[in-house]
Amino acid sequence: MVDDGLSGSARDFRVPGGPDLLTRGDAFHRWQDGRRRNGVWPYSRATESGPATACDAYDDAGRAQRGVNFASQDYLSLSAHPAIAAAATETIARFGVHSAGSAVLLGNTSISVALERRIAEFLSMEEAILYPTGWAAGYGVIRGLVRSADHVVLDALAHTCLQEGANAATRNISVFRHLDLDHCRSKLRSIRAKDAENGVLVVTEGLFSMDSDTPDIIALQQLCREYRATLLVDVAHDLGCLGDDGRGQIGIQGMLGKVDLVMGSFSKTFASNGGFVATNKRAIKEYLRYYSPSTTFSNALSPAQTAVILKAFEIVGSTEGHILRGKLLENVTFLRNSLVERGLEIFGDPSAIVCVKVGAENLARVVSRSLPDMGLLANLVEYPAVAKGSARLRLQVMAGHSRSDILHAAECIRKAVDASVDDLMHAAGRTQAA
Protein backbone atom coordinates (compact mmCIF):
# COMPACT_ATOMS: atom_id res chain seq x y z
CA MET A 1 0.00 0.00 0.00
CA VAL A 2 1.43 3.40 -1.04
CA ASP A 3 2.10 5.66 1.95
CA ASP A 4 0.50 8.76 0.45
CA GLY A 5 -2.50 8.77 2.75
CA LEU A 6 -4.80 8.55 -0.25
CA SER A 7 -4.94 4.81 -0.86
CA GLY A 8 -6.58 2.12 1.22
CA SER A 9 -9.73 2.05 3.32
CA ALA A 10 -10.75 1.19 6.85
CA ARG A 11 -12.37 -1.81 5.23
CA ASP A 12 -8.88 -3.28 4.70
CA PHE A 13 -8.41 -3.67 8.47
CA ARG A 14 -11.90 -4.76 9.44
CA VAL A 15 -11.04 -8.41 10.11
CA PRO A 16 -7.52 -8.66 11.58
CA GLY A 17 -6.12 -12.06 12.44
CA GLY A 18 -3.44 -13.68 14.55
CA PRO A 19 -3.35 -14.96 18.11
CA ASP A 20 -2.20 -11.71 19.75
CA LEU A 21 -5.13 -9.35 20.22
CA LEU A 22 -2.81 -6.52 21.23
CA THR A 23 -1.18 -6.42 17.78
CA ARG A 24 -4.43 -6.26 15.87
CA GLY A 25 -4.41 -2.48 15.68
CA ASP A 26 -0.85 -2.21 14.34
CA ALA A 27 -1.55 -2.32 10.60
CA PHE A 28 -4.48 0.06 10.95
CA HIS A 29 -2.39 2.48 12.99
CA ARG A 30 0.38 2.49 10.39
CA TRP A 31 -2.15 3.30 7.69
CA GLN A 32 -3.81 5.93 9.89
CA ASP A 33 -0.44 7.51 10.67
CA GLY A 34 0.37 7.72 6.96
CA ARG A 35 -2.83 9.66 6.47
CA ARG A 36 -2.04 11.81 9.48
CA ARG A 37 1.43 12.68 8.18
CA ASN A 38 -0.08 13.64 4.83
CA GLY A 39 -2.78 15.79 6.43
CA VAL A 40 -5.69 13.63 5.29
CA TRP A 41 -6.82 12.22 8.63
CA PRO A 42 -9.67 14.62 9.56
CA TYR A 43 -11.10 12.66 12.49
CA SER A 44 -10.91 13.11 16.28
CA ARG A 45 -10.64 16.87 16.10
CA ALA A 46 -11.08 18.88 19.29
CA THR A 47 -12.73 22.28 19.63
CA GLU A 48 -11.57 25.17 21.80
CA SER A 49 -15.14 26.43 22.23
CA GLY A 50 -18.70 25.19 22.00
CA PRO A 51 -20.37 24.13 18.74
CA ALA A 52 -20.91 27.67 17.48
CA THR A 53 -21.35 28.63 13.84
CA ALA A 54 -17.62 29.44 13.80
CA CYS A 55 -15.05 27.89 16.09
CA ASP A 56 -11.41 27.08 16.77
CA ALA A 57 -10.34 23.46 16.60
CA TYR A 58 -7.25 21.25 16.54
CA ASP A 59 -6.71 18.09 14.54
CA ASP A 60 -5.44 15.05 16.40
CA ALA A 61 -1.84 15.98 15.52
CA GLY A 62 -2.30 19.31 17.30
CA ARG A 63 -2.54 21.54 14.21
CA ALA A 64 -4.83 24.53 14.71
CA GLN A 65 -7.88 25.12 12.55
CA ARG A 66 -10.47 27.86 12.50
CA GLY A 67 -13.48 28.25 10.28
CA VAL A 68 -17.18 28.48 9.73
CA ASN A 69 -18.52 25.38 11.46
CA PHE A 70 -20.69 22.95 9.51
CA ALA A 71 -19.25 19.96 11.38
CA SER A 72 -21.23 20.12 14.65
CA GLN A 73 -24.73 18.78 15.34
CA ASP A 74 -26.66 21.63 16.92
CA TYR A 75 -29.53 22.01 14.51
CA LEU A 76 -31.54 24.70 16.33
CA SER A 77 -28.40 26.38 17.78
CA LEU A 78 -29.57 25.65 21.32
CA SER A 79 -26.20 24.71 22.82
CA ALA A 80 -25.38 28.35 23.56
CA HIS A 81 -28.94 29.42 24.32
CA PRO A 82 -28.99 31.43 27.59
CA ALA A 83 -32.04 29.58 28.92
CA ILE A 84 -30.28 26.26 28.34
CA ALA A 85 -27.16 27.44 30.19
CA ALA A 86 -29.29 28.76 33.05
CA ALA A 87 -31.14 25.46 33.37
CA ALA A 88 -27.86 23.55 33.61
CA THR A 89 -26.37 25.96 36.16
CA GLU A 90 -29.43 26.01 38.39
CA THR A 91 -29.73 22.23 38.31
CA ILE A 92 -26.08 21.70 39.22
CA ALA A 93 -26.55 23.97 42.22
CA ARG A 94 -29.53 21.89 43.34
CA PHE A 95 -28.61 18.32 42.37
CA GLY A 96 -24.86 18.34 41.82
CA VAL A 97 -23.16 17.13 38.64
CA HIS A 98 -23.69 13.36 38.75
CA SER A 99 -26.68 11.00 38.73
CA ALA A 100 -24.59 8.57 40.83
CA GLY A 101 -26.63 5.52 39.92
CA SER A 102 -28.56 3.50 37.39
CA ALA A 103 -32.16 4.50 36.67
CA VAL A 104 -33.08 1.08 38.07
CA LEU A 105 -31.67 2.09 41.44
CA LEU A 106 -31.42 5.70 42.64
CA GLY A 107 -30.13 7.44 39.51
CA ASN A 108 -33.40 9.15 38.67
CA THR A 109 -34.39 12.65 39.73
CA SER A 110 -37.72 14.42 39.71
CA ILE A 111 -36.44 16.14 36.53
CA SER A 112 -35.84 12.85 34.71
CA VAL A 113 -39.31 11.60 35.65
CA ALA A 114 -40.75 14.87 34.29
CA LEU A 115 -38.68 14.52 31.09
CA GLU A 116 -40.02 11.02 30.44
CA ARG A 117 -43.56 12.39 30.73
CA ARG A 118 -42.71 15.30 28.41
CA ILE A 119 -41.30 13.00 25.70
CA ALA A 120 -44.36 10.76 25.81
CA GLU A 121 -46.69 13.76 25.55
CA PHE A 122 -44.65 15.28 22.71
CA LEU A 123 -45.00 12.06 20.68
CA SER A 124 -48.63 11.40 21.75
CA MET A 125 -47.53 8.13 23.32
CA GLU A 126 -48.23 6.65 26.74
CA GLU A 127 -44.73 6.12 28.10
CA ALA A 128 -41.05 6.91 27.54
CA ILE A 129 -37.83 5.67 29.11
CA LEU A 130 -34.49 7.48 29.16
CA TYR A 131 -31.08 6.11 28.15
CA PRO A 132 -27.62 7.61 28.81
CA THR A 133 -26.95 8.07 25.05
CA GLY A 134 -28.81 7.74 21.77
CA TRP A 135 -26.54 4.82 20.87
CA ALA A 136 -27.53 3.10 24.12
CA ALA A 137 -31.21 3.57 23.27
CA GLY A 138 -30.90 2.11 19.77
CA TYR A 139 -28.81 -0.84 20.90
CA GLY A 140 -30.73 -1.32 24.13
CA VAL A 141 -34.28 -1.42 22.82
CA ILE A 142 -33.41 -4.21 20.37
CA ARG A 143 -31.23 -6.12 22.82
CA GLY A 144 -33.89 -5.72 25.48
CA LEU A 145 -36.85 -7.02 23.49
CA VAL A 146 -35.49 -9.44 20.90
CA ARG A 147 -34.47 -12.98 21.81
CA SER A 148 -32.46 -15.57 19.88
CA ALA A 149 -35.47 -17.20 18.19
CA ASP A 150 -36.89 -13.84 17.08
CA HIS A 151 -36.19 -11.94 13.86
CA VAL A 152 -34.97 -8.43 13.05
CA VAL A 153 -35.64 -6.90 9.63
CA LEU A 154 -33.45 -3.84 9.04
CA ASP A 155 -33.29 -1.12 6.44
CA ALA A 156 -29.87 -1.53 4.80
CA LEU A 157 -28.79 1.94 5.98
CA ALA A 158 -29.96 1.61 9.59
CA HIS A 159 -27.58 3.19 12.10
CA THR A 160 -24.77 1.11 13.57
CA CYS A 161 -26.35 1.12 17.04
CA LEU A 162 -29.40 -0.60 15.56
CA GLN A 163 -27.30 -3.09 13.61
CA GLU A 164 -25.20 -3.91 16.67
CA GLY A 165 -28.30 -4.34 18.83
CA ALA A 166 -29.68 -6.80 16.28
CA ASN A 167 -26.38 -8.70 16.04
CA ALA A 168 -26.23 -9.01 19.82
CA ALA A 169 -29.81 -10.25 20.07
CA THR A 170 -30.26 -12.85 17.32
CA ARG A 171 -28.74 -14.50 14.27
CA ASN A 172 -32.08 -14.15 12.48
CA ILE A 173 -31.36 -10.85 10.75
CA SER A 174 -32.73 -9.84 7.36
CA VAL A 175 -31.73 -6.65 5.54
CA PHE A 176 -33.99 -4.99 2.99
CA ARG A 177 -32.89 -2.53 0.33
CA HIS A 178 -32.93 1.06 1.52
CA LEU A 179 -36.52 2.42 1.60
CA ASP A 180 -37.74 -0.51 -0.52
CA LEU A 181 -41.17 -1.48 0.83
CA ASP A 182 -41.60 -4.38 -1.58
CA HIS A 183 -38.28 -5.87 -0.52
CA CYS A 184 -39.26 -5.45 3.14
CA ARG A 185 -42.57 -7.20 2.40
CA SER A 186 -40.74 -10.11 0.75
CA LYS A 187 -38.52 -10.51 3.83
CA LEU A 188 -41.55 -10.53 6.15
CA ARG A 189 -43.46 -12.94 3.92
CA SER A 190 -40.51 -15.33 3.88
CA ILE A 191 -40.09 -15.18 7.65
CA ARG A 192 -43.77 -15.76 8.39
CA ALA A 193 -43.94 -18.64 5.90
CA LYS A 194 -41.43 -20.48 8.09
CA ASP A 195 -42.04 -19.06 11.56
CA ALA A 196 -45.49 -18.09 12.81
CA GLU A 197 -44.56 -18.20 16.48
CA ASN A 198 -41.67 -15.85 17.18
CA GLY A 199 -41.37 -12.08 17.19
CA VAL A 200 -40.33 -9.89 14.26
CA LEU A 201 -38.94 -6.37 14.71
CA VAL A 202 -38.77 -4.08 11.67
CA VAL A 203 -36.25 -1.25 12.06
CA THR A 204 -36.01 2.03 10.16
CA GLU A 205 -35.20 5.71 10.71
CA GLY A 206 -37.33 8.83 10.42
CA LEU A 207 -34.46 10.58 8.64
CA PHE A 208 -31.36 8.74 7.46
CA SER A 209 -28.25 10.65 8.45
CA MET A 210 -26.05 9.95 5.43
CA ASP A 211 -28.60 10.24 2.62
CA SER A 212 -31.12 12.68 4.17
CA ASP A 213 -34.11 10.66 3.02
CA THR A 214 -37.08 9.19 4.79
CA PRO A 215 -39.29 6.06 4.64
CA ASP A 216 -43.04 5.77 4.21
CA ILE A 217 -43.78 5.23 7.89
CA ILE A 218 -47.51 4.73 7.31
CA ALA A 219 -46.90 1.91 4.85
CA LEU A 220 -44.26 0.29 7.06
CA GLN A 221 -46.58 0.28 10.07
CA GLN A 222 -49.39 -1.24 7.94
CA LEU A 223 -46.94 -3.86 6.70
CA CYS A 224 -46.02 -4.72 10.28
CA ARG A 225 -49.68 -5.13 11.19
CA GLU A 226 -50.19 -7.43 8.20
CA TYR A 227 -47.33 -9.73 9.19
CA ARG A 228 -47.68 -9.47 12.98
CA ALA A 229 -44.40 -7.60 13.29
CA THR A 230 -43.39 -4.63 15.45
CA LEU A 231 -42.09 -1.37 13.99
CA LEU A 232 -39.22 0.63 15.53
CA VAL A 233 -38.48 4.11 14.13
CA ASP A 234 -35.30 5.99 15.07
CA VAL A 235 -36.02 9.76 15.06
CA ALA A 236 -32.58 10.99 16.13
CA HIS A 237 -32.11 13.44 13.26
CA ASP A 238 -35.63 14.79 12.65
CA LEU A 239 -37.30 15.12 16.06
CA GLY A 240 -37.49 18.72 17.22
CA CYS A 241 -36.10 20.27 14.04
CA LEU A 242 -38.41 19.10 11.22
CA GLY A 243 -42.11 19.71 10.77
CA ASP A 244 -44.23 22.72 11.63
CA ASP A 245 -44.51 21.59 15.25
CA GLY A 246 -41.12 19.84 15.51
CA ARG A 247 -42.56 16.32 15.63
CA GLY A 248 -40.33 15.21 12.76
CA GLN A 249 -41.34 12.74 10.08
CA ILE A 250 -43.70 10.87 12.39
CA GLY A 251 -45.66 14.10 12.83
CA ILE A 252 -45.37 15.10 9.17
CA GLN A 253 -46.80 11.73 8.12
CA GLY A 254 -49.64 11.86 10.67
CA MET A 255 -48.31 8.95 12.71
CA LEU A 256 -48.08 10.49 16.18
CA GLY A 257 -49.03 7.85 18.72
CA LYS A 258 -49.44 5.23 15.99
CA VAL A 259 -45.92 3.81 15.68
CA ASP A 260 -45.21 0.77 17.84
CA LEU A 261 -41.85 1.94 19.19
CA VAL A 262 -40.02 5.25 18.74
CA MET A 263 -36.42 5.81 19.79
CA GLY A 264 -34.24 8.85 19.47
CA SER A 265 -31.25 10.87 20.55
CA PHE A 266 -31.01 14.31 22.14
CA SER A 267 -27.59 15.06 20.71
CA LYS A 268 -28.72 16.64 17.42
CA THR A 269 -31.40 19.16 18.40
CA PHE A 270 -31.74 19.09 22.20
CA ALA A 271 -28.25 20.29 23.22
CA SER A 272 -27.29 17.22 25.25
CA ASN A 273 -26.25 13.60 25.17
CA GLY A 274 -28.93 11.06 25.96
CA GLY A 275 -31.61 8.98 24.29
CA PHE A 276 -35.08 7.57 24.79
CA VAL A 277 -37.57 4.91 23.76
CA ALA A 278 -41.29 5.72 23.63
CA THR A 279 -44.05 3.12 23.74
CA ASN A 280 -47.81 2.90 24.25
CA LYS A 281 -47.42 0.20 26.89
CA ARG A 282 -46.27 0.73 30.46
CA ALA A 283 -45.35 -2.96 30.56
CA ILE A 284 -42.78 -2.47 27.76
CA LYS A 285 -41.25 0.52 29.54
CA GLU A 286 -40.87 -1.46 32.74
CA TYR A 287 -39.50 -4.50 30.90
CA LEU A 288 -36.88 -2.37 29.14
CA ARG A 289 -35.87 -0.72 32.40
CA TYR A 290 -34.86 -4.12 33.80
CA TYR A 291 -33.91 -6.14 30.70
CA SER A 292 -32.32 -3.55 28.41
CA PRO A 293 -28.65 -3.75 29.43
CA SER A 294 -27.62 -0.26 28.33
CA THR A 295 -30.02 1.34 30.79
CA THR A 296 -30.10 -1.33 33.53
CA PHE A 297 -26.32 -1.46 33.90
CA SER A 298 -25.41 2.14 33.11
CA ASN A 299 -25.60 5.30 35.16
CA ALA A 300 -28.56 7.49 34.35
CA LEU A 301 -28.27 10.85 32.60
CA SER A 302 -26.81 13.53 34.86
CA PRO A 303 -29.29 16.00 36.39
CA ALA A 304 -27.80 18.83 34.31
CA GLN A 305 -28.23 16.89 31.06
CA THR A 306 -31.81 16.06 31.97
CA ALA A 307 -32.61 19.70 32.80
CA VAL A 308 -31.04 20.89 29.52
CA ILE A 309 -33.16 18.45 27.49
CA LEU A 310 -36.34 19.42 29.35
CA LYS A 311 -35.65 23.11 28.71
CA ALA A 312 -34.87 22.34 25.05
CA PHE A 313 -38.26 20.64 24.72
CA GLU A 314 -39.84 23.78 26.14
CA ILE A 315 -38.10 25.93 23.51
CA VAL A 316 -38.85 23.47 20.70
CA GLY A 317 -42.55 23.62 21.55
CA SER A 318 -42.66 27.43 21.78
CA THR A 319 -43.06 30.24 19.25
CA GLU A 320 -39.29 30.65 19.41
CA GLY A 321 -38.86 27.01 18.41
CA HIS A 322 -41.17 27.51 15.45
CA ILE A 323 -39.09 30.51 14.35
CA LEU A 324 -35.84 28.58 14.75
CA ARG A 325 -37.16 25.69 12.63
CA GLY A 326 -38.15 28.20 9.97
CA LYS A 327 -34.70 29.73 10.02
CA LEU A 328 -33.09 26.29 9.84
CA LEU A 329 -35.18 25.32 6.81
CA GLU A 330 -34.32 28.62 5.09
CA ASN A 331 -30.63 27.92 5.67
CA VAL A 332 -30.94 24.34 4.46
CA THR A 333 -32.72 25.42 1.27
CA PHE A 334 -30.21 28.20 0.62
CA LEU A 335 -27.24 25.88 1.12
CA ARG A 336 -28.67 23.15 -1.10
CA ASN A 337 -29.44 25.67 -3.85
CA SER A 338 -26.01 27.30 -3.51
CA LEU A 339 -24.26 23.95 -3.89
CA VAL A 340 -26.34 22.87 -6.87
CA GLU A 341 -25.81 26.24 -8.57
CA ARG A 342 -22.08 25.53 -8.38
CA GLY A 343 -22.46 22.19 -10.09
CA LEU A 344 -22.20 20.04 -6.96
CA GLU A 345 -24.38 16.99 -6.36
CA ILE A 346 -26.23 16.61 -3.07
CA PHE A 347 -28.17 13.78 -1.48
CA GLY A 348 -31.75 13.40 -0.35
CA ASP A 349 -34.41 15.81 0.81
CA PRO A 350 -34.16 19.11 2.70
CA SER A 351 -33.00 18.58 6.29
CA ALA A 352 -30.24 19.79 8.58
CA ILE A 353 -28.00 17.18 6.95
CA VAL A 354 -26.63 18.32 3.59
CA CYS A 355 -24.25 15.77 2.06
CA VAL A 356 -22.15 16.64 -0.99
CA LYS A 357 -21.26 13.73 -3.24
CA VAL A 358 -17.55 13.21 -3.92
CA GLY A 359 -17.22 9.46 -4.57
CA ALA A 360 -13.60 8.30 -4.64
CA GLU A 361 -11.89 8.30 -1.26
CA ASN A 362 -8.62 9.76 -2.53
CA LEU A 363 -10.39 12.81 -4.00
CA ALA A 364 -12.56 13.24 -0.91
CA ARG A 365 -9.50 13.17 1.36
CA VAL A 366 -7.67 15.84 -0.64
CA VAL A 367 -10.80 18.01 -0.68
CA SER A 368 -11.27 17.58 3.05
CA ARG A 369 -7.60 18.43 3.72
CA SER A 370 -7.92 21.79 1.98
CA LEU A 371 -11.13 23.01 3.62
CA PRO A 372 -9.76 24.14 7.03
CA ASP A 373 -7.12 26.28 5.30
CA MET A 374 -9.99 27.93 3.42
CA GLY A 375 -11.87 28.60 6.67
CA LEU A 376 -14.45 25.81 6.58
CA LEU A 377 -14.99 22.97 9.05
CA ALA A 378 -16.98 20.09 7.54
CA ASN A 379 -16.94 16.34 8.05
CA LEU A 380 -15.50 13.81 5.63
CA VAL A 381 -17.60 10.65 5.60
CA GLU A 382 -16.19 7.44 4.15
CA TYR A 383 -16.29 3.70 4.87
CA PRO A 384 -17.53 2.30 7.22
CA ALA A 385 -20.12 5.08 7.64
CA VAL A 386 -20.95 4.82 3.92
CA ALA A 387 -20.15 2.26 1.23
CA LYS A 388 -16.65 2.18 -0.20
CA GLY A 389 -16.45 4.52 -3.19
CA SER A 390 -19.33 6.66 -1.87
CA ALA A 391 -17.33 9.22 0.13
CA ARG A 392 -18.98 12.55 0.77
CA LEU A 393 -18.75 15.76 2.72
CA ARG A 394 -21.45 16.05 5.36
CA LEU A 395 -22.49 19.58 6.27
CA GLN A 396 -24.70 19.95 9.32
CA VAL A 397 -26.73 23.13 9.17
CA MET A 398 -27.69 25.25 12.19
CA ALA A 399 -30.44 27.79 12.60
CA GLY A 400 -27.72 30.26 13.60
CA HIS A 401 -25.77 30.10 10.34
CA SER A 402 -25.82 33.31 8.32
CA ARG A 403 -26.20 33.62 4.56
CA SER A 404 -22.56 34.64 4.34
CA ASP A 405 -21.60 31.46 6.25
CA ILE A 406 -23.53 29.39 3.72
CA LEU A 407 -22.12 31.13 0.66
CA HIS A 408 -18.63 30.74 2.09
CA ALA A 409 -19.18 26.98 2.55
CA ALA A 410 -20.47 26.50 -1.00
CA GLU A 411 -17.62 28.50 -2.51
CA CYS A 412 -14.98 26.67 -0.47
CA ILE A 413 -16.25 23.24 -1.51
CA ARG A 414 -16.41 24.16 -5.19
CA LYS A 415 -12.88 25.56 -5.14
CA ALA A 416 -11.56 22.64 -3.10
CA VAL A 417 -13.03 20.05 -5.47
CA ASP A 418 -11.64 21.81 -8.54
CA ALA A 419 -8.17 22.24 -7.03
CA SER A 420 -8.10 18.66 -5.74
CA VAL A 421 -9.06 17.17 -9.10
CA ASP A 422 -6.22 19.14 -10.69
CA ASP A 423 -3.76 18.04 -8.00
CA LEU A 424 -4.62 14.36 -8.45
CA MET A 425 -4.39 14.59 -12.23
CA HIS A 426 -0.95 16.20 -12.03
CA ALA A 427 0.19 13.59 -9.50
CA ALA A 428 -1.02 10.80 -11.78
CA GLY A 429 0.81 12.37 -14.71
CA ARG A 430 4.07 12.56 -12.75
CA THR A 431 3.66 8.91 -11.73
CA GLN A 432 3.15 7.78 -15.32
CA ALA A 433 6.10 9.83 -16.52
CA ALA A 434 8.32 8.26 -13.88
Q: Residue 261 class from Cβ within 10 Å (0-12 exposed, 13-18 middle, 19+ buried)?
A: buried
Q: Please state, in angstroms and as integers, the Cα–Cα distance from residue 169 to each residue in 148, 166, 199, 235, 259, following that order.
A: 6, 5, 12, 22, 22
Q: What is the pLDDT of residues 21-73, one digit of tens each?
A: 999 999 999 999 999 999 999 999 999 888 999 999 999 989 899 999 999 99
Q: Strand 64-69 to strand 54-58: parallel, antiparallel, or no bridges (unpaired)?
A: antiparallel
Taken as a whole, the chain contains a residue count of 434
Contact partners, residue 355, CB within 8 Å, separation at least 6: 210, 211, 212, 346, 347, 348, 381, 392, 393, 394, 395
Architecture of domain 82-316: 3-Layer(aba) Sandwich (3.40)
Evaluate if residue 422 carries a pLDDT over 90: no
Residue 433's pLDDT is: 56
Residue 270's pLDDT is: 98
Residue 167's pLDDT is: 98
List, in sequence order, every residue forming a beta bridge with 279; answer none if it has no partner. Answer: 127, 261
Taking the CA of residue 235 as centre, how many other CA atoms within 13 Å lie in the half-sphere pointing to its CB? 32
Q: Where are the domains of the chain?
A: 38-69+320-433, 82-316
What's the distance, CA 5 to chain centroid?
27
Any idea which of 60-74, 134-148, 157-171, 414-428 has the lowest mean pLDDT?
A: 414-428
User: Containing H/E element for 411?
Assistant: helix 403-433
Q: How far apart, in whole angstroms, are the C-alpha atoms of residue 252 and residue 240?
A: 12
Please tell me the chain's helix, strand, coil percentages from 3-state DSSP, rounded to the nearest 5. 45, 15, 40
Evaluate if residue 98 carries a pLDDT over 70: yes
Q: What is the pLDDT of residues 213-228, one digit of tens each?
A: 999 999 999 999 999 9
Which of the four pLDDT bands, split at 50, 70 and 90, describes residue 407? very high
Evaluate if residue 269 carries a pLDDT over 90: yes
Neighbours of 132 (CB within 10 A): 23
Q: How far apart, in whole angstroms, are the C-alpha atoms of residue 126 and residue 74?
A: 28
CATH of 38-69+320-433, one of 3.40.190.10, 3.30.1370.60, 3.90.1150.10, 3.30.565.10: 3.90.1150.10
Cβ contact 144:290 at 8 Å: no
Residue 430's pLDDT is: 62
Evaluate if residue 323 carries a pLDDT over 70: yes
